[in-house]
Amino acid sequence: MASVSLRLPDEITQRLEKLAALTGRSKTFYMIEAIREHLDDLEDMYLAEQRLIDIRAGKTQTVPLEEVMKRYGMEG
Using only the alpha carbons of the chain, give its radius of gyration: 21
pLDDT beyond 70 at 76: no
Q: Rounded to whole angstroms, how far apart are CA atoms 64 and 66? A: 5
- As to burial, measured by CB atoms within 10 angstroms (0-12 exposed, 13-18 middle, 19+ buried), residue 29 is middle
Residue 74 near residue 66 (C-beta atoms within 8 A): no
Q: pLDDT (tens digit, 9 = 90+) per residue, 4-62? A: 999 999 999 999 999 999 999 999 999 999 999 999 999 999 999 999 999 999 999 99
Q: Rounded to whole angstroms, how far apart are CA atoms 50 and 6? A: 30
pTM over 0.85: no
Q: Rounded to whole angstroms, how far apart are CA atoms 4 and 29? A: 14
